[in-house]
């Protein structure tokens, strides 16, 4: 069996993503990081996983006035610029993409969408971690017309939550596939997938769910890796 190469964008908790995606021995990993200035390594990858972490600079979605709502000490413009190049390469080559948390938000911005810079400040309940650092848990409802529904096989379920930003306006060609009870977008995909590469974006963290047997963890990983194998 031919090995597949997955590029994973760097972040503070990179190890969790790398450990989670190594489902089978045919998976090789390349860390994509501005610290190594290696966006060209996308050419060696068969699929790309965009990880969580830093807030995205709101100037990228033409709302610089939202900076006051961001965790400004966490904004990393070099990471934004690097991952923009990664996505450009990825879309040019039509590689399968899995975006997690910030990864969802960044892909949305890349496709021209906008973000809610701070969910509680914009009138919804908190979706970030508890003060003691533990993820929250809440339900999501999945659109039955979506790829995510085909992957999960059910309309509702419980996921973990650790984000203070979310999608506002979906980017061009993207559609919400899952929502929280209070109306926050929890997942996205291509609205027209025919002839395009696999793209699945989730706002939760499948790589660190307490129940790794959950369909919202193992099915997400399996569907992404299967898409990569089928694209090689």
Q: What is the pLDDT of residues 102-158, one digit of tens each?
A: 999 999 999 999 999 999 999 888 888 876 778 989 999 999 999 999 999 999 999
Average pLDDT over residues 48-67: 97
Average pLDDT over residues 164-178: 98
Per DSSP, helices labelled H in 111-232 are 147-152, 220-231
CA angle 48, 140, 109 (to 5 degrees): 40
Q: What is the pLDDT of residues 47-57, one digit of tens each?
A: 999 999 999 99
Cβ atoms of 142 and 157 closer than 8 Å: yes
Cβ atoms of 186 and 178 closer than 8 Å: yes
Q: Tell whether the model's pLDDT for residue 176 goes beyond 90.
A: yes
Domain with residue 32: its CATH number is 3.40.50.880
3-state secondary structure of 49: strand
The predicted model scores a pTM of: 0.96
Dist CA 191 CA 30 (whole Å) = 29
Considering the chain, what is the average pLDDT of its residues? 95
Q: Between β-strands 199-202 and 97-100, what pairing exists: parallel, antiparallel or unpaired?
A: parallel
Dist CA 201 CA 220 (whole Å) = 10
- The number of distinct structural domains making up the chain is 1
Q: Tell whether the model's pLDDT for residue 1 goes beyond 90.
A: no
Q: In this predicted structure, what is the pLDDT of residue 232?
A: 87
Q: Which of 127, 163, 164, 205 is catalytic?
A: 205
Neighbouring residues of 25: CB distance < 8 A, sequence distance ≥ 6: none
> What is the Cα 195 distance to its own chain's centre?
21
Q: Does residue 101 have an active-site annotation?
A: yes
Q: In this predicted structure, what is the pLDDT of residue 131?
A: 67
Q: In this predicted structure, what is the pLDDT of residue 25?
A: 87
Q: Does residue 207 have an active-site annotation?
A: yes
Q: Which of 11, 45, 70, 101 is catalytic?
A: 101
| Host domain of residue 195 | 4-231
Q: Which of 83, 186, 189, 207 is catalytic?
A: 207
Provide, rounded to the nearest whole percent, the portion of the chain with pLDDT above 70: 99
Q: In this predicted structure, what is the pLDDT of residue 103?
A: 98
Alpha-carbon distance values, 66 to 60, 118, 126, 218 (Å) = 11, 9, 18, 35
Dist CA 54 CA 222 (whole Å) = 26
Dist CA 11 CA 31 (whole Å) = 10
Q: Does residue 45 have an active-site annotation?
A: no
Provide, rounded to the nearest whole percent, the portion of the chain with pLDDT above 90: 89
Dist CA 175 CA 184 (whole Å) = 13
Number of neighbours of residue 41 by Cβ within 10 angstroms: 17
């Amino acid at each position: 069996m031919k090995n597949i190469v997955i590029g994973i964008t760097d972040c503070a908790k990179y190890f969790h993503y790398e450990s989670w995606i190594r489902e089978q021995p045919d998976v090789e990993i390349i860390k994509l990081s501005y610290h190594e200035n290696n966006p060209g390594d996308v050419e060696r990858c068969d699929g790309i996983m965009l990880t969580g972490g830093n807030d995205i600079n709101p100037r990228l979605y033409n709302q610089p006035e939202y900076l006051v709502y961001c965790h400004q000490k966490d904004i990393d413009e070099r990471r934004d610029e690097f991952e923009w190049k990664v996505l450009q390469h990825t879309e040019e080559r039509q590689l399968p993409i899995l975006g997690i948390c910030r990864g969802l938000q960044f892909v949305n911005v890349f496709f021209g969408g906008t973000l809610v810079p701070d969910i509680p400040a914009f009138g919804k309940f908190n979706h970030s971690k508890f003060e003691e650092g533990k993820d929250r848990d809440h339900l999501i409802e999945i659109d039955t017309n979506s790829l995510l529904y085909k992957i999960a096989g059910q309309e509702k379920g419980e996921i973990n939550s650790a984000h203070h930003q979310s999608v506002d306006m979906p980017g061009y060609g993207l559609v919400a596939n899952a929502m929280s009870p209070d109306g926050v977008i929890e997942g996205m995909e291509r609205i027209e997938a025919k002839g395009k590469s696999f793209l699945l974006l989730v706002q939760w963290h499948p790589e660190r769910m307490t129940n790794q047997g959950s369909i919202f963890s193992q099915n997400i990983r399996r569907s992404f890796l299967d898409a990569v194998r089928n694209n090689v």
